[in-house]
Amino acid sequence: MGTIRVGVIGCGYWGPNLIRNFSSCPATEVVAVCDADPARLEAIGRHFSHVTRVGSLDELLTLPLDAVAIATPVSTHHALAERCLNHGLHVLVEKPLASTVPEAMALLDLAERCQRVLMVDHTYLFSNSVRRIKAIVDSGELGDLYYVDSVRINLGLFQNDINVVWDLAPHDLSIVDHVLGREPRSISAWGCAHADPRVEDMAYVNVDYDDRLLANFHVNWLSPVKIRQMIFAGSRKSLIFNELNATEPIKIYNRGIELGEGPDERRQFLINYRSGDVWSPYVEPGEPLQEAVRHFAECIREEKPPLSGGALGLRVVRLLEAATRSLRAQGGRIVLSHSHQGATTHGFADSRANGSSQIHADRPGRPAGQKRRPVRVR
């Protein structure tokens, strides 16, 4: 196979990053870009004048392409990806994969039937920091994991078709899915809408795994400061990932508690505090999106399943959907079954117990029937 010919759909905020990375990847070339907004096409033309620019998917599909990358609003992912897969193209779709669990499942099935690569751009899986974190957790250096605490807050780019959970949490949920390699038992979420009463702009999402492991995710578009931090706390050591620290993004703390050994000490809850070294492993610099694009090309060439394929995309969408149901039930805990379908709300009455939530009949994170209103600020 020669150079993989790529079309990029959606040239708003994120699309140009895909265009730049597919252009610089030796295995791929950007043949065309597509955007419904002529102003965006014009802006792209100023930087990538050699690339064909079209205003609709119909036009794009007349061009000789091997693959597409989709960077449009989440509500459009399913329809665009479905058409491209049916057209015989490999698809890289931005996170999250789709706006409902049934949509995500349909794409997974379709890609399988068409034997095309379906990859979700869960970009962090391709970051050297996350790779290093996974290696450290897998090595057992942290001991038994007690909890994961994740904070992703900023004065954010308000989205008009999704709430803050759908916008920001896919990053952290995909990292934790990848690092832990196991699925949660239940989820609950608590949040609030301030700028637009219909779109939550801050939320706390709490996920419970068996084995006394909890994960908490704080996502927020209203914070005056930018924090991107994850703590993986273990029985032996704890790891802190601070993405904003370019030179030392990972620090490992040899600090924690030690329970007394003997039965008497245990009965009296004698706890010792252990204080030891803090060290920072070297993390090779590199742009995760460049690695994601390279991986997508490799999967097409070698006909292998991607690291962030449709199955991971579906798991993340399932959590996002359940989190939004819980938000609407004031934090009611949703028990997750791993059948791709079942989820029941505990603590609050919820008639949507089969997992195909009505909440998403309109927009993810937007109650059914409410109209979309532009609230984006840049």
Ligand X SMILES: NC(=O)c1ccc[n+]([C@@H]2O[C@H](COP(=O)([O-])OP(=O)(O)OC[C@H]3O[C@@H](n4cnc5c(N)ncnc54)[C@H](O)[C@@H]3O)[C@@H](O)[C@H]2O)c1
Decide whether 38 or 88 has the Cβ nearer to ligand X. Answer: 38
Q: From the CB of residue 114, how many other CB atoms can be counted at a distance below 10 Å?
A: 17
Among 23, 29, 73, 193, binds ligand X (CB under 6 A): 73
Closest CA to 203 of 165, 177, 250, 153: 165
State the Cα–Cα distance between residues 319 and 343, nearest whole angstrom. Answer: 10
Under rule CB under 6 A, residue 121 binds ligand X? yes
Decide whether 142 or 164 has the Cβ nearer to ligand X. Answer: 164
Decide whether 117 or 175 has the Cβ nearer to ligand X. Answer: 175
Sole residue written with tokens 């204080």: 275
Among 23, 27, 29, 36, binds ligand X (CB under 6 A): 36
Q: Could you tell me where the DSSP H helices lie in 33-163?
A: 38-47, 57-60, 74-86, 101-114, 128-139
| In the complex, minimum distance from the CB of residue 344 to ligand X, in angstroms, rounded to a whole number | 28
| In the complex, minimum distance from the CB of residue 170 to ligand X, in angstroms, rounded to a whole number | 7
Strands (E) in the chain, as ranges, are 4-9, 28-34, 52-54, 67-70, 90-94, 118-121, 145-155, 186-192, 202-209, 213-220, 222-234, 238-242, 250-259, 271-279, 333-336, 343-346
Decide whether 66 or 172 has the Cβ nearer to ligand X. Answer: 172
Residue nearest to ligand X as judged by C-beta position: 12
Under rule CB under 6 A, residue 286 binds ligand X? no
Decide whether 100 or 345 has the Cβ nearer to ligand X. Answer: 100
The residues pairing with 252 across neighbouring beta strands, listed in sequence order, are 239, 279
Under rule CB under 6 A, residue 15 binds ligand X? yes
**End-to-end CA separation in angstroms for the chain:** 41
Size of the site for ligand X (CB under 6 A): 22
| 29-37, 45-53, 296-304, 313-321 -> range binding ligand X (CB under 6 A) | 29-37
Binding-residue pattern over the window 53 to 72 for ligand X, x denoting contact by CB under 6 A: ----x-------------xx
| In the complex, minimum distance from the CB of residue 296 to ligand X, in angstroms, rounded to a whole number | 13
Decide whether 34 or 142 has the Cβ nearer to ligand X. Answer: 34
User: Which residues contact residue 366 at a Cβ distance below 8 angstroms, ignoring those fewer than 6 apart?
Assistant: 161, 162, 163, 198, 199, 359, 372
| In the complex, minimum distance from the CB of residue 21 to ligand X, in angstroms, rounded to a whole number | 11
Cα angle for residues 148, 249, 292 (degrees, 5° grid): 85
Among 34, 203, 213, 334, binds ligand X (CB under 6 A): 34
Decide whether 121 or 200 has the Cβ nearer to ligand X. Answer: 121
State the Cα–Cα distance between residues 74 and 92, nearest whole angstrom. Answer: 13
| 12-20, 143-151, 181-189, 209-217 -> range binding ligand X (CB under 6 A) | 12-20
- Amino acid type, 49: S
